[in-house]
Amino acid sequence: DVKVTQSSRYLVKRTGEKVFLECVQDMDHENMFWYRQDPGLGLRLIYFSYDVKMKEKGDIPEGYSVSREKKERFSLILESASTNQTSMYLCASSLSWQANYGYTFGSGTRLTVV
Amino acid sequence: GQQVMQIPQYQHVQEGEDFTTYCNSSTTLSNIQWYKQRPGGHPVFLIQLVKSGEVKKQKRLTFQFGEAKKNSSLHITATQTTDVGTYFCAGHSGAGSYQLTFGKGTKLSVIP
């Protein structure tokens, strides 16, 4: 089975800190995604990547950046954390852009910004 | 942009009753996917439908894709407590579309 591993399950950071969320997948998937999940708002796409060093903005990229230096790793960066970025962050991957593959999600990182 | 609406937002059923959640897109979809998220868990891919009018079954779960490829449904027959969770639909809007748009989900509670 494909595994998507997120480095932290829970994280507490202070306002203004730079925060790194790491995601690693082990099945050579081309595409990787970062979502945030908030009650009543569902899953919202922050950024995605379809190849190494490539990145595309999703629906809510403001306040975030990403890095994909290796195929298996996709990092989400909060340049200066704010309280409105308190959320559950979910990383996902899929095999390719042929639209026949479901996404595999990691277990999520619950980030609290105080 | 593309919107995927899902209803109802919440559903409480007695164990053994049936359950249905509906998904409607503002645009024609190339495919529709369904995911289940257990309480405290992460979304898990269930199935994908691609063809107009397609119907697929997984044990007590029946998935349908509308003729116009703008709506879909998930029906669970005789719910069990293991069915508890939030069910999401998600769709790609067409060829070359990178983005999978998720509905907000239907949260199912099953009363034993």
- Whole-number pLDDT of residue B3: 86
Q: Are B59 and B7 in contact (CB under 8 A)?
A: no
A71-85 average pLDDT score: 97
- Whole-number pLDDT of residue A98: 65
CB contact under 8 A, B99 and A100: no
The CA distance from B112 to B81, in Å, is 7
Within 13 Å and on the Cβ side, how many CA atoms surround A28? 0
Distance from CA of A107 to the nearest CA of B (A): 5
Residue A100 pLDDT greater than 90, yes or no: no
The CA distance from A67 to B4, in Å, is 29
Give, for all 112 residues of chain B, the pLDDT tens digit.
678 999 999 999 999 999 999 999 989 998 999 999 999 999 999 999 999 999 999 999 999 999 999 999 999 999 999 999 999 999 987 655 667 889 999 999 999 9
- Whole-number pLDDT of residue A27: 85
CB contact under 8 A, A43 and B43: yes
Per CB-CB distance under 8 Å, the chain B contacts of A107 are: 41-42
